[in-house]
Chain A
Amino acid sequence: MISIVLNGEPRQVREGSIADLVASLGLDVKKVAVERNRDIVARSTLADVMLVDGDALEIVHFVGGGC
């Protein structure tokens, strides 16, 4: 297990790719976007980018919002 910060919360996760993590969270990879250590991770590369201890991830999606 490694320690990361996911959406602002510390979390222990299995080693693997970002795509593995997204799937293990039960999220549809086509509906989210991921930022790793303040850099965008292209959706096409989510399966190739391996999580590293200490990574800070933001996983976001579209929600209702106005002006």
Chain B
Amino acid sequence: MTDQWSVAGRSFTSRLIVGTGKYQDFEQNAAAVAASGAEIVTVAVRRVNVTDPNAPMLTDYIDPKKITYLPNTAGCFNADDAIRTLRLAREAGGWDLVKLEVLGEAKTLYPNMRETLEATEVLAKEGFLPMVYCVDDPIAAKQLEDAGAVAVMPLGAPIGSGLGIQNRVTIRLIVEGASVPVLVDAGVGTASDAAVAMELGCDGVLMNTAIAEAKDPIRMARAMRLAVEGGRDAYLAGRMGQRRYADPSSPLAGLI
């Protein structure tokens, strides 16, 4: 039973997107990506180290021909920097599917939605396919969609916080209103959080720190794969209704 999702016309089987930051080394990172089953990884765009050009590179360990690289503008605090970064990313990688993230402040890493909307419009006009990190606001999500976002990615809690999905109501509202894929981006701390995001009907989950900072990142990557699959299945299966009080599972008739 295949259950694929697609973004901007590209289909994927795995609904888990993983970051490539904060790992001990490239070997651990590559092993975690393999264990997660992810078909997309986020990557950052940074200045090359001109004093040590032979330093190992991410592309030596995670093959961009097998795993889709999703260039990310993490660290950009205005639309202009984010747009410049993605133009460079498109030139470096040769692909248009990108992740836009324009941050508002260092303390919360909340997105600056005014700059995010502006950047989305510019990028869409330039032919980019932006997947956009955003606040958990159903109206903002629709505005991003109108501006050309190919996916909206609300936070479940602040980036790197591991607090879990703190906003189930608004995530569900975004899912109900969106006509592009919705992925929870940020906030997941452990496997059950990923399952919650999927049970809310999200198309996928993006995470980095929850895997990279686990005691055993490779095992946590596997746990996240299973949780995303489990949560998705639970969503499709349709959960039972909730009751205030007990309801016995065994027949009452025929009791001795």
Contacts and interface: CB of A to CB of B under 8 A. Distances in A.
Interface of A: 6-8, 25-27, 31-35, 38, 40-43, 58-67
Contact of B159 (A6, A32, A34, A67): A67
A64 B29 contact: yes
A35 B47 CA distance: 11
Interface of B: 19-23, 26, 29, 42-48, 50, 53-54, 57-59, 64, 69, 71-72, 74-75, 84, 87-93, 101, 133, 159-160, 185-186, 206-209, 212
B84 to A, nearest CB: 7
Contacts of A33: 45, 88-92
B33 to A, nearest CB: 11
Given A32-B92, A33-B92, A35-B88, A63 B46 contact: yes
B50 A61 contact: no
B57 A59 contact: no
Given A7-B50, A8-B47, A25-B50, A64 B20 contact: yes
B48 A59 contact: yes
